[in-house]
Structure 1
Amino acid sequence: MLRFAPSPTGDMHIGNLRVAILNFIVAKQRNERFIIRIEDTDRERNIEGKDKEILAILDRFGITYDDVVYQSKNLSFHQNFAYKLLDEGKAFACFCTAEELEQERQKAKEEKRPYRYSGKCENITLQEASQRGEPFVVRIKKPDERLCFEDKIKGDLCFDPFEVDSFVILRADGRATYNFACAIDDMLYDITLVIRGEDHLSNTPKQIHVRKLLGYDKEIAYAHLPIILNEAGKKMSKREKASSVKWLLDEGFLPQAIANYLILLGNKTPKEVFTLDEAIEWFDLADISKSPAKFDIEKLRFINRAHLKALPKEELAKLLNVDEKYADLAKLYLEEASTLKELKEKIDRVLQCDRDFGEFEEEAFILKNIILDIDIPEDFDAFKKILMERSGLKGKKFFKPLRLLLTGAPSGPEMQDIYNAMKNSIKEVVSCSS
């Protein structure tokens, strides 16, 4: 089984979506179950409704799943396993106060060394802890040897006991910490492969350590995806607009194009533009680069334009909320627009009745009356000839007002192409222009 485990603490980041997409693809390839595990144990940071928003986004991207589970529902399992480790002497009760720990951290900082727990409470027995009658956290005992595993992207990795440390697994209020809850839940749901971002790399040995101490002997494979960099070459922050999936969708990027781009990012693919179903046929984790990938909004625009061009007319018209007869015109504007938002602005300008003709108001009025009075021919040259003969206009005084009359804009695609795309609706457009 594979899982995508988001926290309902903010907008979905493109890095998280990338993780969800790749887990979905590999689950399909391996014919394994795929679940969404909402990691909601951090009550202070949870935002009401974000879990539903995450699921709605996954639905928009066509990412199907077998079940949705909430980590908080497994609290009793987390506590029972923590006390099992306590009982077996593999974990210990820690009574160190926040002030004491902060002093240790400051000392480590002054001595320019990484902070690690001092081991002060490591020899307190469970019986002694119970007799004290004071609240305590539960810490796991650090490993005695290096922890090694093979990462499907990064290769063989090893971590010293110092890097794992005696970390807290159960808070004083009885809630599990992230690493402990994650390790237990991966056991409970029989997870076989964890695909996640490399920001979780330091968590992996801790989670392996938990399972080893609990005697869990099933192997869980790992693949840690390199981080996504911004255009400046730094880690893409959640504060950057383009990092938000919601922002990209609101800007008019299609879900299928965003998915295409995220699969393409730092990956060797047989082609640049493809669907999710196509990616399932050939995707291989081994093709993903070990190096960070730079997010390029212009490349995403290129991919998005290709997907917009490939949309059936009725679907494009529905997305733009216009009659299907304007779909050909919309496709024409894809030479200069690359998102739904930009495309809708172009089409809305064509369809709006209010026109600014500037110095060509008189010429536009003449042409409008002629257009409404004639039978619209199939050929643009014939249309142009009729208008010129009846209006006596030519050159700039003919083409400028005609373009403004038909499109509402002073520039754009070739007039012949515009005519071919909208000749069946020209009278409708022109009749309301003023």
Structure 2
Amino acid sequence: MLRFAPSPTGDMHIGNLRAAIFNYIIAKQKDKKFLIRIEDTDLSRNIEGKDKEILSTLNLFGLLWDELIYQSHNFPKHRNFADYLIKKNKAFYCYCTKEFLERKKQEALELKIPFRYDNSWAEIQKSQNPNPVIRLKGSDEPICFNDSIKGDLEFAPNELDSFVILREDGIPTYNFACACDDMIYNIDFIVRGEDHVSNTPKQILVQKSLDYDKEIGYAHLPIILGETGKKMSKRDSASSVNWLLEQGFLPQAIINYLISMGNKTPVEIFSLEDALKWFDINHIAKSPVKFDIKRLRYINREHLKKLDENQIALLLNSKDITIGAIAKLYLEEASTLNEIRKKIDMIFSPKNIMAEYEGESFEGECKKLFKVLCAMEAENTECLNQYETFKNEAMQRSDLKGKKFFKPLRILLSGESHGVDLNSLYPYLRFYLKKILQIKGEE
């Protein structure tokens, strides 16, 4: 079984989504079950409703799970495991207060040495502290494991001092709950971010102490860098999956991009189903990858091109196939649903003829041509059927020529002075001329 284990403490980060995608793909490739484990052990940071939002997002991306569990439901099992470790003398009660430990950390800092917990401290404050934590005894030997991306990794005993597995309130710590649940659900392979590399030896130590000898596979994904070259943080808008969706990026395009980051793929544009046939976690680059919004925009446009008029219209919340056809034309210059929506909104909104377009004003010409076009629309003559006859009739009636005709015509029909070829656009616009012919101030 493979698992994706999000915490309901905030919006989903693209790094988390990338890990979810890879776990899902490997599960399908190996014909294993895909488990979602909501890691809700940090009760003070959990945000109500975030779990549902996470599940909704995974569903939107087609990452359908076979099992869903909440980590907090396993608290009784975690406590039983802790009791077992106490009985086997592999864990112990620690009565150190937070103030005592903080003093020790400061002393280490002043001596310029790494802070390490000393097991002899465990009962020094037993009379002062009625609520001890439980610590797992540190390792006497190196902890080694193979990472499918980073290769063989080794952690020396001095890097694994005795650590807390059960807090004073009986709530398990992250590493303990995680290690126990990976045992309980017989997890085979784990893909997660490289910020978890230091957690992995602790989790392996927990499992070894519990006499669990199954060797779990690991792959720790390199961090994703922002445009500045620093680690992408929550402050970077593009790091949020919700933000990308709100901007009009398609789930299938985001998947395409995240799979291709730091990875040589056999084709440039592909679906999740395509990736199931050739994806190999061992081919992911070891070095950090930079998030390239321009690259994502290109991939998004290519996926939009694959959709038919009906599909695009529905994505734009319209049942009118003509809107979908107009949207397809705007893929020459737009790459997200929001950009397309903006272009279409400009067509059907009152036009600002008083504005300057490319440093020039066409107000007078727009007013003159507007009257001509309104008259033509009202007459509903055959000249409206084809762009050439429509254009020629409008030019003749307005007595405008060249740029003084074409710029105002484009402004009145599209709200812009340049863009998609009117010859291609007009066959769809002609059905809506009455609605399109509006100018600001005369609504």
**Which category describes the TM-score, using the shorter chain as reference length?**
over 0.9
Identity among equivalent positions (%) equals: 55
Q: 1:427 and 2:427 equivalent?
A: no
Q: 1:301 & 1:316 partners in 2: Cα distance?
A: 16
Q: CA deviation at 1:93?
A: 0.8
What is the CA-CA distance between 1:371 and the residue it aligns to? 4.0
Q: Please give the per-residue CA displacement for 1:344-391, whole angstroms capped at 9, x wherever unaligned.
A: 011011122455363321222113312442225664333322332343
**1:329 and 2:326 aligned:** yes
The aligned residue for residue 397 of structure 1 is 404
| Of 281, 292, 305, the match for 1:285 | 281
After the TM superposition, which of the residue ranges 78-87 and 324-333 deviates more from structure 2?
Answer: 324-333
Deviation at 1:113, TM superposition (A): 2.2
**Aligned-partner Cα distance in 2 for 1:354–1:18:** 43
| 2:370 maps to amino acid | A
Q: CA deviation at 1:426?
A: 4.6
CA distance in 1, matches of 2:428, 2:110: 71
Give, in angstroms, the shift of residue 320 of structure 1. Answer: 1.2
Q: Which runs of 5+ in 2 are unaligned?
A: 355-362
Task: Give the Cα–Cα distance (whole angstroms) in 1 for the partners of residues 373 and 408 of structure 2.
Answer: 8
> AA paired with 1:368?
C
Partner of residue 178, structure 2: 182
Q: Distance in 2 between matches of 1:169 and 1:336?
A: 55
Specify the code of the residue in structure 2 equivalent to 1:182: C
Q: 1:349 is matched with which residue?
A: 346
Report the alpha carbon displacement of residue 337 of structure 1 after superposing the two structures with TM: 1.5
Distance, in Å, in 1 between the alignment partners of 2:258 and 2:50 is 22
- 1:235 corresponds to which residue? 231
Moved more, 236-245 or 350-359: 350-359
Shift of 1:407: 1.0
Is the Cα–Cα contact under 8 Å of residues 406 and 429 in structure 1 kept in the other structure? no
Give the Cα–Cα distance (whole angstroms) in 1 for the partners of residues 178 and 242 of structure 2: 26
Worse overlay, 374-383 or 160-169: 374-383
Residue 60 of structure 1 is matched in structure 2 by 60
Deviation at 1:245, TM superposition (A): 0.8
AA matched with 1:364: F
Q: What is aligned with 1:297?
A: 293
Describe the superposition over 1:219-259 as per-residue Cα deviations: whole angstroms up to 9, x where unpaired: 21111111101111111111211111111111111111111
1:192 aligns with 2:188: yes
CA shift digits 1:51-108 (9 cap, x unpaired): 0110011111111001210000000111011111111111111011101100111111
**Equivalent-residue separation in structure 2 for 1:29 and 1:346 (angstroms):** 42
Deviations along 1:2-36, one digit per CA (max 9) or x if unpaired, are 00000111111111111111111111111110011
* 2:424 equivalent in structure 1: 417
How far off is 1:314 after superposition?
0.9
Moved more, 378-387 or 146-155: 378-387
Q: Which amino acid aligns with 2:408?
A: P
Please list the CA deviations of residues 170-214 of structure 1 after superposition, one character each: whole Å capped at 9, or x if unmatched.
101111100000000000001000110000000001011111111
Distance 1:90 1:376 in 2: 90
Output the amino acid matched with 1:203: N
RMSD: 2.0
Classify 1:133/1:364 alpha carbon distance in 2 versus 1 (closer, same or farther; 3 Å).
Answer: closer
- Partner SS for 2:103: helix
Q: How many residues align structurally?
A: 429
What does 1:136-175 correspond to in 2, within 5 Å?
136-175=132-171
TM-score where L is the length of structure 2: 0.92
Distance of aligned partners of 1:245 and 1:261 in 2 relative to their CA distance in 1, 3 Å threshold? same
Q: Which residue of the partner structure matches residue 338 of structure 1?
A: 335
Aligned match of 2:382 = 375
Are 2:145 and 2:152, in contact at CA under 8 Å, matched by a contact in 1? yes
Instruction: State the AA in 2 paired with 1:361.
Output: K
- Give the deviation of 1:394 after TM superposition: 1.7
Contact 1:192/1:220 (CA < 8 Å) preserved in 2? yes
- Cα pair distance change 1:383/1:363, threshold 3 Å: closer
Confirm or deny: 8 A CA contact 1:350 1:429 kept in the other structure.
no
Aligned to 1:365: 371
- Compared CA separation, residues 400 and 93, structure 1 to 2 (3 A): same
Asked if the contact 1:326/1:422 (under 8 Å) is kept, the reply is no
Q: In 2, Cα distance between the equivalents of 1:65 and 1:378?
A: 52
1:223 & 1:391 partners in 2: Cα distance? 69
TM-score normalised by L of structure 1 = 0.94
Give the corresponding residue for 2:270.
Answer: 274
